[in-house]
Chains A and B, each alone.
Chain A
Amino acid sequence: MKKLLEISLGIVTSVGGFLEVGSMATAAQAGATFGFQLIWAVVLGTICIIFLVEMAGRFAAMSHHTISDGIRERFGFNVFLWPFLAALLVNFMVLSAEIGGVAIALEFATGIGFQWWALPAALLAWLLLWKGTFGFIEKGVSILGLVTLCFVVGAVMLKPDWKAVATAAVPSLPAHDGANYWFMAVSILGASISPYLFMFYSSGAIEDHWDESYLGTNRAIAGMGMTFGGTISIGVLIVAALVLATHGIDQVNDYHQLPLMLIPIFGFWGFILFVASLAIACFGAALEVGLQQAYLVAQGFGWAWGEDRKPRDDPGFSAVYTLSLLLAAVPITLGIDPLKLTIFSMALTAASLPLTVVPFLFLLNDERYVGEHRNGFISNAAVIFIIALGFVLALVTIPLQILGGT
């Protein structure tokens, strides 16, 4: 019974972690411009993140190390520095984009420009990290995050052609705007396969004292939680494809076009649901990414860390999330377009994947860490596939950014 509760809680949590500004924005853009055609990218990204999250959890449960600890210990400081710096930079941009998402939602709700909301949003996130415990943040974010299910309900109520939806789960070549199509595919993959997600998950497993007995729980959470998250993304994509396109929006290049999505389905409540979903999903992700920055630095250098401690007991750790949130609010306060920042940081995330994922191949096959629970053939094949995908994405992202970016 306790395990069942833990599994369901874990699933809800991972839904909260999965759906953030990146997956919402990229899915909405893809739906508006290419209809259902890019659903395959969401499916592929979801499968990849399931594998990585499962491995991150298994690694933590078996070795009592977080992924960052593992990389530093196994490869040494000089190698660790590269994924460390890449993750720090990517997380910073993603954090900024999430704060931008919250700020945009608050602009919709109040009519006051988004720039003014970045600092208050960052401050509120900081306050929760400062005073809250890990469990409180984890559970609070996840339960509120369930509001995003409205996209799935909306998608079903629109009665899409399910056969067309299923067909789109298989990759196909675009009929128009080739560069834009591939750039969106890259952004969707970047939004789904977020390094902060699996790194955060491994830190969470340590915070929650996982051991070998959690391997089954871990598998269930990774599989079902990420599938749920992916389903919501697909919901966003379907709604965007059916609503935005019929209202003459075939290019989403401004967040202000988005609240329209749910209005034809739910009326005025659609507006409220959209704003609430955007605000909660982005705020939850901002908490997790802010915390992950502190985990990353503290684990990399061996400082005391833990969200359940008082800030005065781990001053280094709390200083990192304080600074991260503050700095990430700056670009939005200066008026950088949150949508452009989101799409750009998702593409950058995709390009950074080889650096963060290659270590998995070694760590998850090393008996000294995972004992007899080493990767099997399928898991290793999945990691190699993700690394290869990451390399291709890294190579094509920059030219596509110029040709097809927003």
Chain B
Amino acid sequence: MKLLRDILDKQVLDRNHVKIGKVDGLVAELRPGKPPMIVSIELGSITLARRLGQRPGHLMAGLAAKLGGKRHARPHRIAWGKVRDIGIDIELDIDVRETSIFAWQDWLRDHVIGRIPGA
């Protein structure tokens, strides 16, 4: 398996098959004398901005912290051990409701979308 080809940028589902984002980044641990090991996957706008360069990464991290508070100052990180299945999508053994990944969507639902009649 080639990690960058087969894992990065794939769709991620939680255990209830909710689409929670894409694999925006991978975190590897460098081990002396052994090949590096993937320890977790990252999701979210900060990781995406970092892929574009250092400056966009800093800007986005600052923006996220400003809008969402401290808990959003860093990318969402999920341990590799939570990966349950790799197929068309990547399925994680987590429940998105127990994470802060959808905090902005929840905010949007509670403050905007949910207030429009018929939602």
Asked if A63 and B9 sit within 8 Å, CB to CB, the answer is: no
On chain A, the residues within 8 Å of B48 by CB distance are 77
Most buried by A among B113, B114, B118: B113
Is B37 an interface position by the 8 A CB rule? no
Asked if A315 and B105 sit within 8 Å, CB to CB, the answer is: yes
Asked if A315 and B9 sit within 8 Å, CB to CB, the answer is: no
Q: Contact check: which of A63, A73, A316 meets B105 at CB < 8 Å?
A: A316
Beyond A69-B11, A311-B119, A312-B119, whether A301 also contacts B109 by CB under 8 A is no
Asked if A73 and B9 sit within 8 Å, CB to CB, the answer is: yes
On chain B, the residues within 8 Å of A114 by CB distance are none
Considering only residues 310-351 of chain A, those with a C-beta below 8 Å from chain B are 310-312, 315-316, 318-319, 322
CA distance A81 to B119 in the complex (A): 31
Expressed in whole angstroms, the minimum distance between the Cβ of B32 and any Cβ of chain A is 29
CA distance A76 to B9 in the complex (A): 6
On chain B, the residues within 8 Å of A311 by CB distance are 113, 116, 118-119
Number of A interface residues in the complex (CB < 8 A): 26
CA distance A63 to B89 in the complex (A): 11
Considering only residues 271-329 of chain A, those with a C-beta below 8 Å from chain B are 301-305, 310-312, 315-316, 318-319, 322
Is A256 an interface position by the 8 A CB rule? no
Closest to A78 in B: B51
CA distance A63 to B88 in the complex (A): 8
Expressed in whole angstroms, the minimum distance between the Cβ of B118 and any Cβ of chain A is 6
Is A72 an interface position by the 8 A CB rule? yes
**Could you pull out 10 A-B pairs where Cβ atoms are within 8 angstroms?**
A64-B88, A65-B88, A77-B48, A130-B118, A303-B105, A311-B116, A311-B119, A315-B106, A315-B108, A315-B113
Given A304-B18, A310-B119, A316-B104, output 19 extra A-B contacts at Cβ < 8 Å: A69-B11, A76-B4, A76-B51, A78-B51, A80-B9, A81-B52, A130-B116, A301-B21, A301-B22, A302-B12, A302-B19, A303-B19, A303-B21, A304-B19, A305-B19, A312-B109, A312-B113, A316-B105, A316-B108
Q: Contact check: which of B11, B24, B112 meets A319 at CB < 8 Å?
A: B112
On chain A, the residues within 8 Å of B119 by CB distance are 130, 310-312, 318
Asked if B22 and A72 sit within 8 Å, CB to CB, the answer is: yes
Is A131 an interface position by the 8 A CB rule? yes
On chain A, the residues within 8 Å of B104 by CB distance are 316
CA distance A310 to B108 in the complex (A): 14
Q: Contact mask B42-70 → A, CB, 8 Å, 1/0?
A: 00000010011000000000000000000
CA distance A194 to B19 in the complex (A): 28
CA distance A35 to B4 in the complex (A): 54
Most buried by A among B9, B18, B116, B118: B9
Asked if B113 and A78 sit within 8 Å, CB to CB, the answer is: no
Q: Contact mask B1-36 → A, CB, 8 Å, 1/0?
A: 000100011111000001111101000000000000
Asked if B51 and A302 sit within 8 Å, CB to CB, the answer is: no
Asked if A73 and B116 sit within 8 Å, CB to CB, the answer is: no
On chain B, the residues within 8 Å of A305 by CB distance are 19
* Nearest 4 Cβ contacts at the A-B interface: A302-B22, A302-B21, A315-B109, A315-B108
Considering only residues 71-113 of chain A, those with a C-beta below 8 Å from chain B are 72-73, 76-78, 80-81
Considering only residues 238-290 of chain A, those with a C-beta below 8 Å from chain B are none
Q: Contact mask A143-156 → B, CB, 8 Å, 1/0?
A: 00000000000000
Closest to B20 in A: A302
CA distance A246 to B109 in the complex (A): 57
CA distance A209 to B9 in the complex (A): 22
On chain A, the residues within 8 Å of B88 by CB distance are 63-65
Closest to A63 in B: B88
CA distance A72 to B48 in the complex (A): 12
Closest to B18 in A: A304
On chain B, the residues within 8 Å of A318 by CB distance are 113, 119
Closest to B7 in A: A73
On chain B, the residues within 8 Å of A312 by CB distance are 109, 113-114, 119
CA distance A78 to B19 in the complex (A): 21
Expressed in whole angstroms, the minimum distance between the Cβ of A259 and any Cβ of chain B is 35
Expressed in whole angstroms, the minimum distance between the Cβ of B95 and any Cβ of chain A is 14
Expressed in whole angstroms, the minimum distance between the Cβ of B29 and any Cβ of chain A is 22
CA distance A78 to B109 in the complex (A): 29
Asked if B105 and A77 sit within 8 Å, CB to CB, the answer is: no
CA distance A103 to B19 in the complex (A): 37
Closest to A311 in B: B119
Closest to A79 in B: B9
CA distance A361 to B63 in the complex (A): 37
CA distance A73 to B12 in the complex (A): 12
